[in-house]
Structure 1
Amino acid sequence: MELMKNKVYRCRISDYTADGTGFAKIEGRAVFVPRTAVGDCCDVRIVKVTKNVAFGRVEKLVTPSRARITPACPVSDKCGGCCYQHITYEEELRAKEKKVRDALTRIGKQDGDRLLGITGAETTEHYRNKAQYPVGRDREGNIVTGFYRPRSHDIVPVERCLIQSEKADHLAGIVREWMTEFAVPPYDYETKRGTIRHIYVRTGEKSGECQLTLISATRKLPELDTLIERLRAAEPSLTGILINHNQRGDNVILGDRTDVLWGEPMLEDRLCGNTFLLSPHAFYQVNHAQAERLYACAVDYAGLTGEETVLDLYCGAGTITLALAAHAKHAVGVEIVPEAIENAKNNARRNGAENVEFYCADAGQAAGRFSGIDVLVVDPPRKGLDETARDAILKMQPPRVVYVSCDPATLARDVAELCGAGYTLEKAQAYDLFPRTFHVETVVLLSKGEVDSKKIRVEFSLEDMDMSEFQDGATYTQIKDYVLEHRGLKVSNLYISQIKRKCGIGVGKNYNLPKSEDSRQPQCPPEKEKAIREAFKYFGII
């Protein structure tokens, strides 16, 4: 029987989707109902019907699930940040563990018992050390900060978020007041006009420091001295106030250039026994306590004895790499973001890690240049490993692969690929780094079976390998400095990326490239192209 749009049906919610939406079967048809809990008996109005599924909303909660609770957040039904405020934390952990297990069995074609369980967080409130508030106006024209409604640019005003740090909420409020008082307009994504796009606050759990970055579409702002004075007076732990310039027309939050308005350009924090200096661009897990547990699991799965060489792909600011280096003979980190690699190198020096090296390169291309790796650790973005990276891993054939993932579906896809080529899934453990949201982290250990047990070792020296493409001087910053010094020309990351492509050198997706191929973008002038090519030759890239 076909479901009718706008008709109300009674049903019982039986499961959750990957994004936390309730699932029910009505007249044999799959129906998705947001903000419901498994066990809810409810009357659901059908709002959309497609060929295979339907979507509904709750008209009446007939019998609530035992897992249902009253949300502590007043906008939990509007904001797109959290999806599990209406259920107990025990039920949330059950749903997340099932999500990972289902992905590994259905997509990965693996034994679900390899997942040993999920480690929950000690606290579900104010755990985030990174807040990025979009700025806009409400219907009355008032300046507001908050978070987007699902699948929109409509901002739900939020002055106190239960998962963000209280320092971040406080500082965002001061910026709002300053914008209102001095008529600083928020950026409008439809008209492409305005000034402040986001307010970005990062806090150090162990250091106690915090840093505020304004993301602005214009370079000049009024009464900055007043803002700085107010922010410093309101929050003594503030160590840096920065402005990031972003004139892009897309949804990318951070632009390429960041200037210091006051204080330090980096935020300091400590993780897994190491001290880190972090730029606004550097990746750093948002839940400090859970990140330490996650990384401890990754190190444990690596099975290091102090004699191994470890390769860490997608290393970010070097957090996992340094944790591995403490137990390995040699550790190498690879990351495509230049600012993150600069952070990683500085962090290694600060912590006295002499057995670690970092290279700025695409993960897949870099991995293909290594051999004799005992343990490979990967912590890719949500999209998982690309085909180049998977092929490189299979070419290297490391005895052990530790995969840290923030998306069970792409993890399971990659596990299926690697296991189909000779690897075995030994074990997995899930970690809840993002309470009240649908996100979950997982660590898996893959091994080559007999190759691992016989412990075949290949001795090699990094000095003997051709690492010219990834040497220290080949970062975007170093290339720009070389061109300026030798040719007196200023070149952008965009121009460098364009010439890299002309030379057949792979680059990442974060260097001012438009999403649409039809989008207009400035092309590198011939004299700057010549200068960039000279820099490439100097650094041994071509």
Structure 2
Amino acid sequence: MECGYYDRDLCHSCTAIEVAYGRQLERKQELVRGLVDPLGSPRWLAPVASAEAGFRNKAKMVVAGEVGAPTLGILDGTRGTDLRDCPLYPAPVTRALHALGEFISRVRLLPYDVAKRRGELKHVVVTGSPEGRLMVRFMLRSTRQLPKIRENMDLLHELVPAADVVSVNLQPEHKAVIEGPEEILLTERSELVMTVNGIGLRVRPRSFFQTNTAVTERLYAQVAEWVSAADPVSVWDLYCGVGGFALHVADPAREVVGTEISPEAVASARDTARAMGLPEAGPGSVRFLADDAAATPADLPGTPELAIVNPPRRGLDASLCAWLEGSAVGHAVYSSCNAKTLARDLRRMPSLRPVEARLLDMFPHTGHYEAAVLLRRD
């Protein structure tokens, strides 16, 4: 991938950009296999490659600069570097970033000054759907400039006509955390529809969604294929997020339960299930609960025939590994963004042996990846 920002020494976020993409895939496959193979030697399917550019559906841009002349990008120390034309983003997101820069200038929003710890607008986050629809979030230090955004929503929609969802998030603290606890919705619509394999997943401002939609489609399809082959009558999707896995494995003869600690994500998952006409109880049902995945076995009756786990980088809680190891779960699918914690957790569950695996490259030009492993009880 060609990147003028990298060539001009302005941004080095893509740490592997000088490595041929085929070799990037090989290195990731070697890393993950080296950690997983000693624990069961699964059959490895061909890795899923990504487009090399235009693949990121979400742009998280630091706002810096001056009133009337903002930068949207990253910080070089405390100075803003504008990255509105970063080649990682698809055209609708890039157009939105330029339009939002104009909006911020014309409305005269005050960028946050990290060195002086003053100012208001810290970040702008733009998420794009496969259809080119957008969600726009302004991260402010306080509500001081919220009226300016409210009063100029007509201008915002003129400049960014594809913005279905617009919100303000309040992050009053001076620390390297983008989101604060309060979200203020500025549009009637509260959810962006992300169509994945024909399923219109609803995503709210504070809901997690994978940043590479095309590879996410392949991940969900792969897991659905494994679940279909195992043919369980009951499935638990732990760390279910907005319900991607759970809704992909729905079946008229199957009961599916998804659990997620984020109430916003659960609300989105329920909205999608209702839109699909899925019942909440009985055969063919898909039900979502706001719950900590580690607590799910104690909070739900019975044991599923198959469990799907998709934890954050820290991996599974030891208590959940112990429950899975001692349970009657016949199959499990583990989706991981960190092969070190994946391997640690597999060692904690020796009765669930890896039988098939696949690397999916969500994050070209970096050392990050997603790995999915099918586990079967010996």
TM-score w.r.t. length of structure 1: 0.63
1:202 is matched with 127
1:171 aligns with 2:102: no
Q: Say which SS state the counterpart of residue 136 (structure 1) adopts.
A: strand
1:85 aligns with 2:85: no
Distance of 1:364 and 1:268 partners within structure 2 = 29
Stretch deviating more after TM superposition (88-97 or 374-383):
88-97
1:425 aligns with 2:350: no
Letter in 2 for 1:358: F
2:213 is matched with 288
1:53 is matched with none
Deviation string, structure 1 residues 50-84 (Cα, Å, up to 9, x no partner)? xxxxxxxxxxxxxxxxxxxx843432654253122
1:383 is matched with 314
Distance of 2:116 and 2:163 partners within structure 1 = 34
1:339–1:292 Cα change, 3 Å = same
The correspondence of residues 127-206 of structure 1 with structure 2, limited to 5 A, is 127-137=55-65, 143-148=70-75, 155-205=80-130
Deviation at 1:211, TM superposition (A): 1.6
From 413, 437, 444, the counterpart of 2:373: 444
Distance of 2:344 and 2:185 partners within structure 1 = 42
1:262–1:425 Cα change, 3 Å = closer
Distance of 1:119 and 1:328 partners within structure 2 = 30
2:333 is matched with 402
Distance of 1:300 and 1:191 partners within structure 2 = 53
1:104–1:162 Cα change, 3 Å = same
Distance of 2:169 and 2:266 partners within structure 1 = 19
1:126 aligns with 2:54: yes
The correspondence of residues 28-67 of structure 1 with structure 2, limited to 5 A, is none
The correspondence of residues 127-526 of structure 1 with structure 2, limited to 5 A, is 127-137=55-65, 143-148=70-75, 155-205=80-130, 207-221=131-145, 223-224=148-149, 227-304=152-229, 308-326=233-251, 329-354=254-279, 355-370=285-300, 371-419=302-350, 422-449=351-378
Q: Mind listing any 5+ residue stretches in structure 2 that lack a counterpart?
A: 280-284
Deviation at 1:305, TM superposition (A): 6.3
Distance of 2:2 and 2:110 partners within structure 1 = 33
Distance of 1:372 and 1:225 partners within structure 2 = 49
1:473 is matched with none
Deviation at 1:390, TM superposition (A): 1.4
Deviation at 1:367, TM superposition (A): 2.5
Letter in 1 for 2:120: T
Stretch deviating more after TM superposition (221-230 or 351-360):
221-230
Letter in 1 for 2:45: L
1:380–1:153 Cα change, 3 Å = farther
Identity among equivalent pairs (%): 26
Count of aligned residue pairs for this structure pair: 370
Say which one has the larger Rg.
Answer: 1
Deviation at 1:215, TM superposition (A): 1.1
1:81–1:339 Cα change, 3 Å = same
Letter in 2 for 1:192: R
Stretch deviating more after TM superposition (226-235 or 340-349):
226-235
Distance of 1:223 and 1:311 partners within structure 2 = 45
* CA RMSD in angstroms, aligned pairs only: 2.5
Letter in 1 for 2:56: R
1:116 aligns with 2:45: yes
2:282 is matched with none
Deviation at 1:402, TM superposition (A): 0.3
Q: Is the 8 A contact 1:188 1:194 kept in 2?
A: yes
Distance of 1:111 and 1:432 partners within structure 2 = 22
Q: Mind listing any 5+ residue stretches in structure 1 that lack a counterpart?
A: 1-69, 450-542
TM-score w.r.t. length of structure 2: 0.89
Letter in 2 for 1:260: L
Deviation string, structure 1 residues 220-273 (Cα, Å, up to 9, x no partner)? 326436753333223332222221222233322222222222342211122133
